[in-house]
A = this chain, B = another copy of it.
Amino acid sequence: MAERLHARRARSNIPVTMGADELPATLRAALVGAIGERNLLTDPDLKASYEIDWTRRFHGRAAAVVRPATTAEVAAILRACSAAGRAVVPQGGNTGLVGGGVPRDGEVVLSTTRLTGPCSVDAAAGEIVVPAGTTLHQVQEAARDAGFDFGVDIGPRESCTIGGMIAANAGGVHVLRYGMMSEQLIGVEAVLADGSVIGRVPGLRKDNAGYHLAALLAGSEGTLGVVTRAHLRLTPAMPERAVALLGLDDVEAAVAVMRQVRPALPSLAALELILAEALDLVCRYAGVAAPLRGAHPVVLLIECAGQTSPREELLAALESAGGLVRESVAADDAAGVRRLWRYRDAAGEAINAAGVPHKLDVAVPLAAVPEFVARVRAAVAAAAPEARVAIWGHVGDGNLHVNILGLAPGDAPIDHDVLRLAVELGGTIAAEHGVGTQKTADLPLARSAGDLAAMRAIKAALDPRGILNPGVVVMR
């Protein structure tokens, strides 16, 4: 399949432009015609916030930022950029962590944050239709007003957009109960590189009329199309919550406790791991005391949620795991639940405040989690003795976030060592944050030659000039 792809690329007679200092006059005129002067940003000050990511690790220069407000405007922009062979970087709330949503060198950034409008809830069906620029928080509010909730929750909920969450196939703290973003999709509308509009909103929960393009877009990171609208399933409201933090001796104990309590907790909503270094960063950052009296190497957060209080169920399950739990604290009132979650939620902000971290998001089979943690620590200690490793994550899914602080610019090879280790233990190099520009070169670790060739063929089929997010996911 590789040969076909090369043949096709060679026939493309308009090279994709990156690195040019200015937009050519014809492209500029077409973009102004599509969205007006006002929504074509070329002033460096106005472009600046679109050119750097939240961690400050990934940044580049955009030739322009375009801010469409409708599907038709997105289509007109992509037609114009296709005709000019100009690379486009789609960007939602710019909360990505793998460099997939910021420009590298002279692309047009297509910001979807103006694709907004009413959130339309169908309360009888438990579904919602929203434009792609709607934030997660807005969806949560609309859902809660109608007596529902939304199945995916991630930290930057005030900023991240539904379109970006679909493109990234966002995960978060409730995947073990409700699945990832792809599992919330009833219908998706998107614009392909040539400006054609695909998908269906509203969609249907059961629809086998042809290929499931929405399922392919989920996790494609803006390389196959730009999501413009979505039809999502809502979940039943679970207003009653109970949270416990358990102090444990080691990661083995966390895995053992999880295996023990999980079958006894139908109301389980989250299982999060916080290793001591991460907890320490949070306490310093937030200026709060540690949640437990003792200094435990490992803290496991367990959340249960239901329509009636899951408190008794949680306490009974913890009792059954008693021998492994050195100390615990629990809450089932709103303020207490918020306070305990803060030790996990603030980890991202805390580490960003302490420096510019290398952030690696991997998943391994549950049984391999202890070995993975031990070997990551050893590898970093050997390669960069001054570096600090802070690990937390959605351990219920085998998903860990490895954060490394204090690396010198030349220390990037440690990233690859960590990813290689995850694969060696039966895991993946990208669990929920995606591939972005960060891991594109590492993708052959996780995907076979057949997979990579099929991905390149699909990319070439839907974006033959390669204008959509070049350098992300698919290697040229």
Chain A residues in the interface with B (C-beta under 8 A): 1, 4, 124-125, 168-169, 171, 175, 179-180, 182-183, 192, 194, 196-200, 202, 204-213, 215-216, 218-220, 224, 236, 259, 266, 307, 363, 365-367, 394, 397-399, 426-435, 439, 443, 446-455, 457-458, 460-462, 464, 473-474
Tell me, rounded to whole Å, the shortest Cβ–Cβ distance linking A201 to chain B: 11
**A169 to chain B: which residues have CB within 8 Å?**
208, 212
Whether A212 pairs with B216 at a CB distance below 8 angstroms is yes
22 A-B residue pairs with Cβ-Cβ distance under 8 Å, sorted by A, are: A1-B194, A1-B196, A124-B366, A124-B367, A175-B206, A196-B450, A198-B454, A199-B451, A205-B398, A208-B432, A208-B434, A208-B435, A209-B447, A210-B430, A210-B443, A210-B446, A210-B455, A210-B474, A211-B219, A212-B216, A215-B215, A460-B461
Whether A192 pairs with B399 at a CB distance below 8 angstroms is no
Contact of A204 among B205, B431, B439 (CB under 8 A): B431
Given contacts A204-B427, A215-B215, A427-B204, contact A210 B435 (CB under 8 A): yes
**A462 to chain B: which residues have CB within 8 Å?**
454, 457-458
Q: How many angstroms from the CA of A355 to the CA of B201 in the assembled complex?
A: 39
**A448 to chain B: which residues have CB within 8 Å?**
197-198, 200
| A-B CB proximity, top 5 nearest | A215-B215, A461-B461, A196-B450, A457-B461, A209-B446
Tell me, rounded to whole Å, the shortest Cβ–Cβ distance linking A308 to chain B: 11
**A175 to chain B: which residues have CB within 8 Å?**
205-206
Whether B212 pairs with A182 at a CB distance below 8 angstroms is yes
Tell me, rounded to whole Å, the shortest Cβ–Cβ distance linking A198 to chain B: 4
Whether B427 pairs with A198 at a CB distance below 8 angstroms is no
**A433 to chain B: which residues have CB within 8 Å?**
208
**A398 to chain B: which residues have CB within 8 Å?**
204-206
**A4 to chain B: which residues have CB within 8 Å?**
464
**A439 to chain B: which residues have CB within 8 Å?**
209
- Name the residue of chain B whose CB is nearest to the CB of A306: B266
Q: How many angstroms from the CA of A111 to the CA of B428 in the assembled complex?
A: 33
**A453 to chain B: which residues have CB within 8 Å?**
196
Whether B206 pairs with A432 at a CB distance below 8 angstroms is yes
Whether A455 pairs with B206 at a CB distance below 8 angstroms is no
Tell me, rounded to whole Å, the shortest Cβ–Cβ distance linking A194 to chain B: 6
Given contacts A216-B215, A473-B210, contact A204 B450 (CB under 8 A): no
Whether A211 pairs with B216 at a CB distance below 8 angstroms is yes
Tell me, rounded to whole Å, the shortest Cβ–Cβ distance linking A83 to chain B: 15
Whether A206 pairs with B443 at a CB distance below 8 angstroms is no
Whether A206 pairs with B451 at a CB distance below 8 angstroms is no
Tell me, rounded to whole Å, the shortest Cβ–Cβ distance linking A407 to chain B: 23
- Name the residue of chain B whose CB is nearest to the CB of A181: B208
Given contacts A211-B455, A218-B212, contact A399 B206 (CB under 8 A): yes
Contact of A451 among B198, B399, B430 (CB under 8 A): B198
- Name the residue of chain B whose CB is nearest to the CB of A258: B124
**A236 to chain B: which residues have CB within 8 Å?**
266
- Name the residue of chain B whose CB is nearest to the CB of A199: B451
Tell me, rounded to whole Å, the shortest Cβ–Cβ distance linking A321 to chain B: 15
Tell me, rounded to whole Å, the shortest Cβ–Cβ distance linking A95 to chain B: 15
Q: How many angstroms from the CA of A468 to the CA of B57 in the assembled complex?
A: 45
Whether B204 pairs with A365 at a CB distance below 8 angstroms is yes
Residue of A206, A307, A365 with most chain B CB atoms under a 10 A cut-off: A206
Given contacts A455-B213, A458-B461, contact A450 B198 (CB under 8 A): yes
Given contacts A1-B196, A206-B171, A454-B198, contact A220 B216 (CB under 8 A): no
Give 19 new A-B contacts, CB below 8 A, not counting A206-B398, A213-B451, A460-B461: A125-B366, A169-B208, A169-B212, A182-B215, A192-B450, A197-B448, A198-B448, A198-B454, A204-B363, A205-B363, A206-B394, A209-B430, A209-B439, A209-B447, A210-B455, A211-B220, A211-B458, A457-B461, A461-B461
Tell me, rounded to whole Å, the shortest Cβ–Cβ distance linking A429 to chain B: 5
Q: How many angstroms from the CA of A469 to the CA of B197 in the assembled complex?
A: 27
Q: How many angstroms from the CA of A363 to the CA of B367 in the assembled complex?
A: 42
Tell me, rounded to whole Å, the shortest Cβ–Cβ distance linking A466 to chain B: 14
